[in-house]
Structure formats: C-alpha cells, structure tokens
Amino acid sequence: MTPLAPGLRRIVAARVRTALTYRQNVLLLQLIVILNIFILSRLWTTLFEGRETIDGMTLHAFLVYLTVVNLQSWVFTDFTVNEYIYRRVRTGEIVFDLIRPAGFVPQLLAHMAGSHLFMGLSVVATLPVVMVVGTVDTPASASALALYVPALLLGYVIALLLALLLSLVAFWTVETSGFTVLYRLINQFFAGTMLPVSLFPEPLRILAGLLPFQSTGYVPAALYVGRLEGAEALRALAVQGLWVLLLTLATVTVWHRARRRLSVQGG
C-alpha cells in the first residue's frame, strides 16, 4: 500500500459525507428513478400487448433490462463533483489541490468514487421499492453473469472517464451547468435507459455506435438479460475496452492542456 492511499481513502469518505448533506437531492433522484422505472414498465407492457417478443426479448426480459439499465445509470450519476471542481477553479482554491502529493486527477477520481459509492448504497436501500414498481431478476444465465460483471466494470470506468473530462471543462469555461445538463440528456438517451439501443432508427443506431454512452448502459444490461451473446457479446466487450483506452488518452491530453492553461492564468 502506497502512502498516498490513506489520503485518497479519506477523500472517498469525505465525499460520502458530503453526499449525505444533499439528502433532499438524493431522495428526489431516488423518486425520479423509481417513477421512471414504473412509467417505462407500464408503457412497454402496453406496447408488448399481443406480441411475444420485441427485438428478440420477451416482456419479462425487456422489463428486467429497463430496471437494470436505469439502476446502473443511477449509480453512475454524480451531482456534486462537477460543481465542486468548478467552484475551486473559479475561486483559485484549485492551487491547493495541485500541490498535494496525491495529484489532482487521482483526487478527482477519489471524489467521484466516493459519490458513486454513496449512490450505490442508495440503490441498495431502495431495491425493495424497485422490486415492486419494476422487474428484478437474476441474470439470464451463468454465461450472462460472467459477461455482465466485466462489462459493468468497463462501463463504470468509461462513465468515470467521461465525468472526469466533463469536470475538466471548468478550466475553460466560467459556467459548467449548461454542459452538465446537455451531457446528462445525451448520456441518458444514448445509454439506452428509455429503450434498448438496438431499437433505435438506423441513423440514431449508427450514431450510438460511434459514441461511448451505450457502453455504460445498454451493453451491460443487454448482456445481463441475454440480449447480447456469443461473438456479439465479445465484440461489445472489445469496444468497451477500446473506449477505455481512447478516453484515457483523451483525459491525459485534456489534463495536460488544462494544467498549462492554469499556469498561464496564474502567471
């Protein structure tokens, strides 16, 4: 264990405590996610009337997909870190973060990990309600579970890197809320939280294939319910790995430029 690890663990714990101070926001988010799962479940139950399958999925598998993908999106959501970074850049407090031994990017990742840990715990707390309004079931098969676990981890890393890139926008703008709202709208849609990406019209499906968002939502959830199998599943995992590599390179490049920009602004 490196001497930096305890400091990063303290950041994670501090971020969990900070998230607790936003209890009303978290409760509102929980309500929104629960209502979203409920509405989508009722909508797709109606649309399934008279059909045995849609897109190769039974109604049960479809409802499980919607529940899983929305819970994933909930865990990956962060409503505090972007504002935290923006405030510290605007006030100049970011200088103190830059001189700490842990490094700024590891600190930022620790903040995000703490926020996501809290969101994960809040998901566990609301599962009894989700089981009533949505459809919860085990993975479609043992192989589905074996594919889902690495896909979920890769999806989380991709979501983390995207959030990190979004946070670094604060070094160039005086206001980040607009970018954050736009990002969340695009992310929610192309992650497949309303309907599977495979049901998108062809132009949107092609566009979704060129973006990383389906790797954070649709791919893990589709693997969970057995919608992606065999060579198609392995291809999806390979694409996730490619996105991790590309976003890591993008993050390193953007951070290098952000640091230079801060040095210029600070003299």
**Structure tokens that stand for 204 in this block:** 């949107």
Q: What is the mean pLDDT of the chain?
A: 84
Q: Which residue has the higher pLDDT, 124 or 178?
A: 124
Residue 54: which H helix or E strand, with range? strand 53-54
% of residues, the chain, pLDDT over 70: 84
Cβ-Cβ contacts under 8 Å for 84 (sequence gap 6 or more): 111
pLDDT digits (tens, 9 = 90+) for 113-142: 888 888 888 888 888 999 988 899 999 999
pLDDT digits (tens, 9 = 90+) for 7-33: 777 878 877 777 777 677 778 878 888
DSSP 4: T
pLDDT of residue 255 exceeding 60, the answer is yes
pLDDT at residue 264, as a whole number: 42
Which residue from 181, 14, 189, 8 is spatially nearest to 82, judged by alpha carbons?
181
Across 59-139, the runs of DSSP E, i.e. the strands, are: none
Where along the chain do its domains lie? Answer: 5-266
Which amino acid, 169? V
Name the band, by pLDDT with cuts 50, 70 and 90, for residue 1.
very low
pLDDT of residue 103 exceeding 70, the answer is yes
Q: Which residue has the tokens 């599962």?
A: 127
pLDDT at residue 30, as a whole number: 82
**Structure tokens that stand for 265 in this block:** 């602004």
Which of 14-18, 249-253, 254-258 is predicted most confidently? 249-253
Mean pLDDT lowest among 8-22, 58-72, 158-172, 234-248: 8-22
